[in-house]
Structure 1
């Protein structure tokens, strides 16, 4: 009977009621151990439905005025937080299967690179054509669930300001943007009111440079729709909560 001989002999001497209880306890123990084992599928392909959602979520995150950084670990974790929160077309084993998590993360990282590239190109083009910030914003929200707001226009004014600075529109553009955002927060000493004042000043400067062609004023009462508000709330919440317990590598995404 090997190492389990004495345990088995002891079990046999128990009365039927105790044997039943001991057997049930053992089964529960085995079940708990099995549940901790992540069953690996070996491979996983992101469905078109989930891929479309990732594209929508990525656009909403990158166009959110709540965003504190555009590169690195934080940004893809913000998108992952939105994916988990909305939980639409998400595999049940996203958290437990490392292959599934890795595939979804890679899809998010790729979409972030493509969307940042799209935004950067739109900003570069807007400078050469003297496009108003309102027109720039309208072009970027086209075919998305996002809407043009004063806050979005102010954020785009900041992005365009950095792009116009000497030697900052190249491959490291988004790193320069992150540095500028950090500087704004530092100067404002973390005060949200002071940050908004700084962004309002940038928006006014942007409009004086590029004008307000084909648009008289940005509606002062404009506000995010329910979709963007949900994404903004998830970004704000995930920014104040500990990172998830994933064991995936936290490499930074590529320059674009």
Structure 2
């Protein structure tokens, strides 16, 4: 692999990539109503009209025997206890201000009871169904061809948006307003993201590096190119590990293989000491995220046509995938298939749409009975 040009002082590898990406891609307010003006009629209003205001207030009506009879029959049907029925009958005889005061007192009493219930409620714990679905969604986001950032809060926010929409496990409506519960959920999402990124990196390392005789042996070295794992097999292994070694629930596509190839490109550059001084102190995910940003930036150059931008991005990743095959080998009989599993396609499409909606700054439905919220972390 050719080394970066030393003539550029800032991130020479990225500069080279930007030129390459540019070459690859080059072919291809609501109206408010006017304020109402004050009229002469308004000016002539008599503001001191206590009689008209008092006339609108309800007048106390003395209950008669029919009222008591109706309530005495109705209350038991609502399962009120005898002493509660007596309280209702007494309430009927109270003056109107006393009735209103009693209602307000009961509202406050209910608030106190609810606060006591909330204080006694056990600490929120993520049940097994919620864990399974959060883990699956997190891994699907990391394997999405629409992902815009691997490290940071963006992926975590995308998982949380999906959670709000689907209400998995014991994440019932209202849980999002419980800060303690949300802290537990966000911590779990962060843990899954960290573990899954670690799994991906370990497989990339194993695909090109010599096995170390000693655990802390330094520096790492590359195996001969012809012994490297092909990109399809590497991606398949990563997906199997993310799925727990069970049935694969993430489609293996050329787009996913291309993003794994981008990750491997930066790992190999680090081992071969082909990083600029500016990039040398960055970890793998920071380098990959910068490269993702560069691809999107170059793709948007001189155009706002979303179809054209998508075409340019696809062309850039196709070139990355082609370079990986040339460097690390490709089994001619091992073609990268497009998945035909309808369930997997539908699930991954839901993941991709959530990421794209956040990127566009659009809202995503948060599920039946819940309000729509603005997706966070758009880039």
TM-score normalised to structure 2 length = 0.53
Q: Which has the larger radius of gyration?
A: 2
Residue 231 of structure 1 corresponds to 351
Residue 140 of structure 2 corresponds to 60
| Structure 2 CA distance for aligned equivalents of residues 207 and 24 of structure 1 | 78
Q: Is the 8 A contact 1:83 1:90 kept in 2?
A: no
| Structure 1 CA distance for aligned equivalents of residues 311 and 159 of structure 2 | 26
Range with bigger deviation, 232-241 or 150-159: 232-241
| Structure 2 CA distance for aligned equivalents of residues 137 and 27 of structure 1 | 64
Asked whether 1:130 is paired with 2:130, we answer no
Judged with a 3 Å threshold, the aligned counterparts in structure 2 of structure 1 residues 43 and 127 are, in CA distance, closer, same or farther, namely same
Q: Specify which of 285, 291, 316 is matched with residue 198 of structure 1.
A: 316
Secondary structure in 1 matching 2:176: coil
Residue 77 of structure 1 corresponds to 157
| Structure 1 CA distance for aligned equivalents of residues 147 and 349 of structure 2 | 13
Secondary structure in 1 matching 2:164: helix
| Structure 2 CA distance for aligned equivalents of residues 44 and 193 of structure 1 | 45
| Structure 2 CA distance for aligned equivalents of residues 221 and 107 of structure 1 | 30
Q: CA deviation at 1:126?
A: 1.5
Judged with a 3 Å threshold, the aligned counterparts in structure 2 of structure 1 residues 49 and 125 are, in CA distance, closer, same or farther, namely same
Judged with a 3 Å threshold, the aligned counterparts in structure 2 of structure 1 residues 203 and 16 are, in CA distance, closer, same or farther, namely farther
Q: Specify which of 233, 257, 262 is matched with residue 158 of structure 1.
A: 262
Q: Is the 8 A contact 2:254 2:336 kept in 1?
A: yes
Secondary structure in 2 matching 1:213: coil
| Structure 2 CA distance for aligned equivalents of residues 173 and 16 of structure 1 | 78
5+ residue gaps, structure 2, are: 1-56, 63-94, 210-226, 241-245, 302-308
Q: Is the 8 A contact 1:42 1:99 kept in 2?
A: no
Q: CA deviation at 1:111?
A: 0.6
Q: Is the 8 A contact 1:65 1:155 kept in 2?
A: yes
5+ residue gaps, structure 1, are: 1-11, 251-256
| Structure 2 CA distance for aligned equivalents of residues 29 and 189 of structure 1 | 57
Q: CA deviation at 1:236?
A: 1.6
Specify which structure has the bigger relative contact order, considering alpha-carbon pairs within 8 angstroms and separated by 6 or more residues. Answer: 1
Q: Is the 8 A contact 2:134 2:189 kept in 1?
A: yes
| Structure 2 CA distance for aligned equivalents of residues 25 and 195 of structure 1 | 63
Deviations 1:115-151 (A, max 9, x none): 0000011111112351111101111222341121111
Q: Is the 8 A contact 2:252 2:338 kept in 1?
A: no
Residue 149 of structure 1 corresponds to 253
Residue 107 of structure 1 corresponds to 188
| Structure 2 CA distance for aligned equivalents of residues 193 and 24 of structure 1 | 68
